[in-house]
Amino acid sequence: MIVMKFGGSSLASAIAIRRAAFLVRSEGPRNPVVVVSACGTTTDQLDAILEDASQGRAYLAWTKQRDLASQYYSLASELLAGVEVVQIEQYLRDVFRDLHLLTIDLAENGRELTPEIRDRGLSIGEQLSSRIVAAAFNRAGVPAVHLDARELIVTDDHFNEAAPVLWETYAKIRAALPEPTARSVGGPIPVLAGYIGATPDGRTTTLGRGGSDFTASLVGAAVHAEEIQIWTDVDGVMTCDPRVRRNVHRLTTLSYEEAAELARCGAKVVLESAMSYVCPLA
Ligand code: ADP
Ligand code: ASP
Ligand code: MG
């Protein structure tokens, strides 16, 4: 079994999502489990919406929600057809109505933007992306089944930076993803949201920004995956952030110590992966 994690930058458009479907199909014989981030910059957009609403900027929050919703409606119509579009559109309507009610509560009823409420808002990105990606995979001829990460990743109630309760999480993942031998090869590929989880009493949490890599590690450790692939928009670790400098080169080797040092200094591309090391099952 392998885990394939797709970052926001590798799910930022319909073309990118189709490319992900193609990559997953090519790994079919290795029983992939797919973990997804929110598409593109969705989490930043949600953060801005919640912040605006909490500062009483209701109209600004609403225009940003409208823009975000229209991005998802466009993705759905580009990727899906027929009854699938109708189903996803119904889902989008429900999700964006809930977000709207939440922002009204913050902006007009003076509700405080607590870490718990923030997690409820920020988690929307991965909830949306995981459903759309699963539906898009099916449409692209890659049978997929959506799993709700909040039913698998059990965490404490340290909202915004929740820590997983490892053994319970592993047990739930293993129950949901039986060993490949018990799963017929060619069966539907599980797709779940990264970054989000829930407390034992069912309150939504997040694992900290960039936490989808952590989810991929949790899934990998739980099922003894032979490999965890992190798909992003750069072709490896470069000598510098390519968004900052041109003419960067790909590093051919990187020791664990060097990666840890880079992570300590805050290098974005390795920070999340290095942080996401978790204790594998004995
Ligand atoms: P994802 O959305 O897939 O999780 P991230 O945005 O978390 O991806 O990380 C990928 C980004 O990391 C790249 O787009 C790149 O701009 C940035 N980055 C920073 N430092 C480096 C580096 N040394 N090598 C490669 N990418 C880097
Ligand atoms: N979507 C979340 C973030 O932007 C988690 C992730 O992408 O890993 O931080
Ligand atoms: Mg990331």
Place 215 in a pLDDT band, splitting at 50, 70 and 90: very high
Higher pLDDT, 259 or 99: 99
Residues near 265 by Cβ (< 8 Å), separated by ≥ 6? none
Residue 166: is it exposed, middle or buried by C-beta count within 10 angstroms (0-12/13-18/19+)? middle
Whole-number Å distance between alpha carbons of 120 and 46: 10
Cα(210) to ligand 1 centroid in Å equals 11
| CB 43 less than 6 A from any atom of ligand 2 | yes
Cα(182) to ligand 2 centroid in Å equals 32
Q: Residue 275's pLDDT is what?
A: 39
Cα(259) to ligand 2 centroid in Å equals 20
Nearest protein CA to atom 5 of ligand 2, as residue: 210
Cα 205 from chain centre: 13
Query: pTM for the complete prediction?
Result: 0.91
Mean pLDDT across 43-72: 97
What does the DSSP 8-state code read for residue 219?
A: H
Whole-number Å distance between alpha carbons of 90 and 85: 8
Determine how β-strand 196-198 pairs with β-strand 204-206. Answer: antiparallel
Unique residue bearing structure tokens 């309150």: 203
* Sign of the four-CA dihedral 280, 208, 244, 8: positive
| CB 197 less than 6 A from any atom of ligand 2 | no
Q: Residue 170's pLDDT is what?
A: 97
Q: Residue 75's pLDDT is what?
A: 96
Cα(193) to ligand 1 centroid in Å equals 20
- Average pLDDT across the chain, whole number: 91
What does the DSSP 8-state code read for residue 29?
A: G
Nearest protein CA to atom 3 of ligand 1, as residue: 7
The helix or strand, by DSSP H or E, that contains position 275, with its residue range, turns out to be: helix 268-275
Higher pLDDT, 182 or 206: 206
Output b/e per residue, 37-62; b: 16+ Cβ within 10 A. Answer: bbbbbbbebbbbbbbbbbeebeebbb
* Sign of the four-CA dihedral 69, 153, 270, 189: negative
Place 161 in a pLDDT band, splitting at 50, 70 and 90: very high
Cα angle: 134, vertex 28, 39; to 5 degrees = 30
Asked whether the beta carbons of 37 and 8 are under 8 A apart, the reply is yes
Mean pLDDT across 54-69: 97
Residues with CB under 6 A from ligand 1: 7-10, 37, 210, 232-234, 237-238, 240-243, 267-269, 272
Place 182 in a pLDDT band, splitting at 50, 70 and 90: very low
Nearest to 96 by CA among 58, 52, 65: 65
